[in-house]
Amino acid sequence: MWRICVVLLSVGLLAGCASSGRSEQVAVLGADVADLRERMNELQEQVAELTAYREVAACRLPNRAGADRLSAGFPISPERIPASGNVNVAVLFVDFQEAPALQGETDTADKQTLTHEIFVNIVSDAKRYLKVMSYGTFDVTFRPLHRWLRMPHSLSSLYADSDSSLGRGISRFMLIDDAIGLADPEFDFEDIDSVVVIAAPEADSIRRGSALLSPDWHFDPDGQTIGNAISLGSNDRRWADGLTVAHELGHNLGLPDLYDVSVSVRKDSEENLSDEVNRFVGVFGLMGARPSYARTEMFAWSRWQLGWLRDTQVACVTSFPTSVQLTSLAIPGGVKAVVVPLTETTALVVESRRILGYDSHLSKEGALVYKVDTSVPTGEGPIVVGSISKPPDDTALLGPGEAWNSDGYSVTVEDAAHEGEYVKISAID
Ligand SMILES: [Zn+2]
């Protein structure tokens, strides 16, 4: 009896245990039934999560792209910023002797207005977007220092983009390190998780957004190590919707690039909008190329990696045929992904894309099938959407009666409603 009581005590279920007196029993029973019910519900949820954790084990593909590298696998490196709760991001504005902000103007008030404008246009939306994508669990607080920090070195000789990616990395490291150094006397970096440095619009030799990550790069202001940072260039202002910041923060969170980086490095930024660079995921996914990701829901797989989808929201299918009711990514709750493990590092994933939320631009809705390979490095196609059209567009979405065959399996949409698709997965003989 005593042992049972200890067990029950440990989960807060005291009622019925006390053998020493009826009055104690009554007192406990009357204490707070609502609290007990709440505790029971929590326990039930925990049991469901534990059961689901076991059930999805075969589908939680391990990272085989390098433990400290961006990957589509599990787990994400602890060096990346936390994906839940509140995260603090410093926002610094920098200009240059050769490219002063508001060239020709000397009015300090105008300069301040400009930093506010840029902040509202290209930073604020990222907060809302990531909050929605995480179903309310991830909250970024951007902390701007609203003045232009004048960089100590020449733009052209030190900070401008170079042709090689290593050269660009060094330039951006210098840019961010100098910006942090200039801001430090008046900015407290103590609880800062990441830093965004925005170059003045006039500095057009700093072109595209870029994320700098440990272990390759880190910054040490106020005695604390910051292993995640972002710099934005002149091209990023052309898509003033905050999603460039969200994309780069995606890297800070540990997500890989889903566009073809080799094309992007080879070609000028204008040509980055070509079909070739978008061939893996096309119009789907935040981590694809611009402007495709201008407005799009994030893949269920990426959200599962980040813990924004719970294990209970993933159906890991290993016997066939199996049918699953999917709910649209844009609606909180329900099963968001069917995962069929293929090998130790590959899986097919099915999710529901409806004309809702950030997918409101779609002209067709339906189930989306893609293949994940966690041995493929960032920017080389760790996620590839199954589609006849390249780059994949709305025609990749399967409506009622439509099917997609891949890797020995057939995915068929048996029924569809506003909330999502009912899909059947069969093994092909
Ligand atoms: Zn990227």
Question: What pLDDT sits at residue 1?
Answer: 40
The number of angstroms, rounded, from the C-alpha of 113 to the middle of its chain's C-alpha atoms is 30
C-alpha 255 – ligand 1 centre gap (Å):
9
Task: Quote the ligand 1 centre to 257 CA distance (angstroms).
Answer: 5
Distance 203 CA to ligand 1 centre (A): 21
Return d(Cα 309, Cα 303) in angstroms, integer.
6
- How far apart are the CA of 45 and the centre of ligand 1, in A? 36
Query: Do the Cβ atoms of 308 and 137 come closer than 8 Å?
Result: yes
Give 43 Cα–ligand 1 centroid separation in angstroms. Answer: 40
What is the block-wise mean pLDDT of the chain (429 residues), using blocks of 10 residues?
Answer: 42 44 65 88 91 92 91 96 97 94 64 84 88 97 95 91 82 95 96 95 86 92 92 72 87 96 65 77 86 77 98 96 97 97 98 95 95 96 94 94 97 96 95
Cα–Cα distances (Å) from 194 to 21, 106, 143, 226, 314, in that order, read 58, 31, 10, 6, 30
Residue with tokens 């099915």: 350
- The pTM for the full model equals 0.88
Phi, psi of 67 (to 5 degrees): -55, -40
Structure tokens at 331: 């609606």
The predicted structure's pLDDT at residue 14: 41
Ligand 1 center–CA 170 separation, angstroms: 17
- Quote the CA–CA distance of 16 and 34 in Å, as a whole number: 17
CA of 290 to the centre of ligand 1 (A): 10
Q: Which of 233, 217, 226 lies closest to 188, judged by CA?
A: 226
Distance 186 CA to ligand 1 centre (A): 31
**Residues linked to residue 144 through DSSP beta bridges, in sequence order:** 91
What are the Cα distances from residue 313, in Å, to 162, 184, 316, 327?
44, 43, 10, 10
Cα–ligand 1 centroid distance for 391 (angstroms): 18
For ligand 1, the distance from its centroid to the CA atom of residue 52, given in whole angstroms, is 32
Query: What is the distance in A from the centroid of ligand 1 to the CA of 387?
Result: 23
Count of CB atoms situated within 10 Å of the CB of 209: 22
Structure tokens at 300: 């269920």
Measured distance CA(352)–CA(368) in Å, rounded:
6
How far does the centroid of ligand 1 lie from the alpha carbon of residue 247, in Å? 6
As a whole number of Å, the end-to-end CA separation of the chain is 57
What is the spatial distance between Cα 423 and Cα 354, in angstroms, rounded to a whole number?
Answer: 14
How far does residue 14's CA lie from ligand 1's centre (Å)?
A: 53
Question: Quick count: other Cβ atoms within 10 Å of Cβ 343?
Answer: 11
b/e 180-201 (16+ beta carbons within 10 angstroms → b): bebbeeebebeebbbbbbbbbb
Best CA proximity match to 140, nearest among 196, 219, 71:
196
Domains along the sequence of the chain with CATH: 85-253 (3.40.390), 297-427 (no CATH)
CA of 330 to the centre of ligand 1 (A): 23
Comparing CA positions, the residue from 188, 263, 272 lying closest to residue 238 is 272
Tell me how far the alpha carbon of residue 210 lies from the centroid of ligand 1, in angstroms: 7
Query: Residue 164 and residue 149: Cα distance in Å, rounded?
Result: 27
Note residues around ion ligand 1 (Cβ under 5 angstroms): 257
State the pairing for strand pair 210-213/228-232.
antiparallel
Compute the distance from residue 7 Cα to the ligand 1 centre, in Å.
50
